[in-house]
Amino acid sequence: MRYDDSPPPPESASSISPDRRWFMRRSGLTIAAASLVPAALAAWVLTQALTGSGPDRQPPPAAAPLPASHATGLDGKPNTAAGATGATPTGTSRSAQPPAKGPLAGRTVVVDPGHNTGNFDHTAEIDRQVDIGTKRKECDTTGTTTNSGYMEAEFTLDVSRRLRTLLEAKGLKVVFTHETDRAWGPCIDERARIGNEAKADAVVSVHADGVSEGSRGYHVILPAEVKSGKADTAKIVEPSRLLGERIASNFGRTTGSSPANYLGSGTGLVIRDDLGGLNLSTRPKVFIECGNMRDSKDAAQLTNPQWRQKAAQGIADGIVGFLGG
């Protein structure tokens, strides 16, 4: 028996039994394997964290595109986030739109904001004559202004953007004839062509009138039956009338405005054969004059953002009703 703390003398290989040598080898392998397991597990966890892969080895989902409805706020100003809007050769439409849903999915509406703020600086270009079927007419005009200088083109673009947001919420595809993508125009024949090429289910051109003080109210302009040169409206007269009636009734109810007191005999509906945008259209189309910018009372409404939202809602409700939504 030993009484000190010194280690026992080492066993010689020859003095160890075969069974003991086998046990020592197995114990050493077990310890070595056990020491490798934590290192391998740590490496696997680090790989998953860096690659974002889960047990099914699928990569993480890509960032979702910006929904189309975010491209314009209720203040009418465009969202400048990448991908919010896009331009096409025949008009301006959304990019990265979410999948359309609802009873109106797959239907197309073309919205035509009347005039362009740049037209005032490009009078030579917009004075160029174009063929509207019944005659030749200026490519475009400047539009009117309020007495304080608020442009019709500013008004029409703001209402059109609000209208687009409302229509897209119903699942409709909305195409603009222009937005902020060009310095002037487009010409009236091009505006008609954009609606035709889009095979639009409805086209609405947004305007405001510029007549004398005391002339108040809205009116919707319908195409006359015209067949001359490039113009042939026979197929669109009736559906355009139905579209116009829907918009007029909804617009008046939503905004609280009355039909124009200076034309249309109080119906809010007027038929014309001298507008190229109507004469050259092959799709149901109307113009709406939302009020008179030269009348102080109408101008107070037209310059009010809350009223413009109501105007957009009234037009949207008319379009949706016409399309059966």
Task: List the catalytic residue out of 154, 190, 245, 289.
Answer: 289
245 is catalytic: no
Cβ(289)–Cβ(209) under 8 Å?
yes
DSSP 3-state assignment of 266? helix
List all residues 6 or more positions away from 309 whose beta carbon is below 8 Å from its beta carbon.
74, 162
Cis before 10 (ω within 30): no
* Residue 205 token pair: 């051109």
236/77 Cα distance (integer angstroms): 33
205, containing H or E segment:
strand 202-209
Cβ(295)–Cβ(147) under 8 Å?
no
Cβ(227)–Cβ(280) under 8 Å?
no
Q: % helix / strand / coil in the chain, to the nearest 5?
A: 40, 20, 45
16/20 Cα distance (integer angstroms): 6
Taking CA atoms, 272 is separated from 136, 224, 226, in Å, by 16, 5, 10
- Output b/e per residue, 44-72; b: 16+ Cβ within 10 A: eeeeeeeeeeeeeeeeeeeeeebebbebb
List all residues 6 or more positions away from 188 whose beta carbon is below 8 Å from its beta carbon.
130, 132, 137, 138, 139, 140, 275, 276, 277, 280
List all residues 6 or more positions away from 201 whose beta carbon is below 8 Å from its beta carbon.
107, 108, 109, 283, 284, 323
Catalytic residues: 289
